[in-house]
Amino acid sequence: MIYRKVRTNLSRTLSAIEQDKATSDDYVKCILADPQIAAYIVQAVVEEFKDMEIDEIIPCMGEPTVTLRFPERLGVKVQNTGSESVDEEDGKIIYDIKFPVYYKGKKKEFIINIEAQKSSKKSKLGYKLENRITYYMGRMISEQKGTEFSGSSYDDIKSIYSIWICMDIKKTDDSIIEFGMKSNLIYGKIKIIPKLSKINGALINVRTRTAKNRELSKNRLIAMLEELFSKSEFLEKKKILEEDYGLKMSVELEGRMNEMCNVSDYWEEVALQTGREEGRKKEQVSLIVKKIKKNKTMAEIADDLEEKEEVIAPIYEAALSMKPDYDVEKIYELLEKNKKLA
């Protein structure tokens, strides 16, 4: 693999927790870029490879470039080679994983991009993920100008696939969604409608499997990814991946899986604590809202809850700004926003 270091958030120093979280993400990228795992993904998404075995697909794949936040923590050597594109806002589009795949020798070449995405929810991202996928697909085509083709040699454009793997899906929502351009005849008669096959994308929705008795996905790729990123005990997970999915555990893959589990366990403990604190805060907001609806003053509410008025004041004022709906979730979001602005 070719590794590059992603230089983001340069305006501030990342906390220890943020560094651990980013390191966990780095391990996920390296695991997804493993030739066996990547071959499973290519087999499931790229039409030309659907009838091929994993062992047949691996030799068709070029060396992947993987971008990492903390490569030094993974003990890998960084190489200065391209896996980024120009973006008007911040100057770069960073691809998690990118590699070429060749069909029937080099007669047909594909450029594959795999993105590990913890969430697909607009409420967390601030945008619809499908719009970002569309942008990535467009950039993967336009950036070929001057590298894969020049002038008006548009027939030399390589087909691209931007494949996004999301890991926060409900237990019944495991799925693979295909994106792409299509052509339709709006008027007239024509024997052959031009096929647009250069721009392709996919969204693979993987459930987080925490319970051992959860039913496996009926899709083989998703079931394998669920097991790969499950909370199962490491040796049990390794055995299942080897016996049920034919993965050969190299020292590198096994080590990264084990380290990912260790970092993820620590991050989950932090996230659990954060979740508890959020729950307590929302409960406090809910109590204050109930008292506001009873026309109680801030002083009366502080007295009832045995809190100082300066503690109650921000919640009281935020709640009043939401009158008459008093939506607890929106009040909490406003409080968090005000905290960041303070």
Task: Say if residue 253's pLDDT is above 80.
Answer: yes
CA angle 122, 123, 127 (to 5 degrees): 35
Question: Structural domain tally of the chain?
Answer: 2
Q: Are 121 and 210 in the same domain?
A: yes
pTM as predicted: 0.73
Q: Are 329 and 207 in the same domain?
A: no
Percent of the chain whose predicted confidence (pLDDT) is above 90 = 32
Q: Are 242 and 284 in the same domain?
A: no
Residue 266 lies in a domain: no
Tokens for 148, please give them. 């894969």
Give the model confidence (pLDDT) of 48-99 as tens digits.
Answer: 999 999 999 999 999 999 988 888 888 888 876 555 554 444 556 889 999 9
Task: Say if residue 303's pLDDT is above 90.
Answer: no
Residue 270 lies in a domain: no
Residue 256 lies in a domain: no
Q: Are 60 and 129 in the same domain?
A: yes
In the listed set 249, 272, 298, which residue is the last one of a domain according to the structure?
A: 249
Residue 259 lies in a domain: no
Q: Are 304 and 238 in the same domain?
A: no
Identify the pLDDT of residue 340.
60
Q: Are 183 and 292 in the same domain?
A: no
Q: How many CB atoms lie under 10 A from the CB of residue 181?
A: 11
Tell the burial category of 103 from Cβ atoms under 10 Å away from its Cβ (0-12, 13-18, 19+).
middle
Q: Are 236 and 310 in the same domain?
A: no
Domain span at 322: 280-341
Q: Are 225 and 292 in the same domain?
A: no
Percent of the chain whose predicted confidence (pLDDT) is above 70 = 85
46: Cβ contacts below 8 Å, ≥ 6 apart:
101, 110, 112, 161, 200
In the listed set 228, 249, 270, which residue is the last one of a domain according to the structure?
A: 249
Is pLDDT larger for residue 272 or for residue 278? 278
* Banded model confidence at residue 17, pLDDT cuts 50, 70, 90: low
Identify the pLDDT of residue 117.
86
Give the model confidence (pLDDT) of 151-210 as tens digits.
Answer: 999 999 999 999 999 887 777 778 999 999 888 888 998 888 888 889 999 999 988 755
Task: Determine the 3-state secondary structure of 180 from DSSP.
Answer: strand
Q: Are 102 and 142 in the same domain?
A: yes
Region at 67 (left for phi over 0; alpha for psi -120 to 50; beta for the rest) = beta
Task: Say if residue 122's pLDDT is above 60.
Answer: yes
Identify the pLDDT of residue 130.
93
Residue 127 lies in a domain: yes
Q: Are 237 and 126 in the same domain?
A: yes
Q: Are 10 and 158 in the same domain?
A: yes
Residue 91 lies in a domain: yes
Pick the closest to residue 200 from 141, 137, 149 (CA basis).
Answer: 137
Q: Are 46 and 173 in the same domain?
A: yes
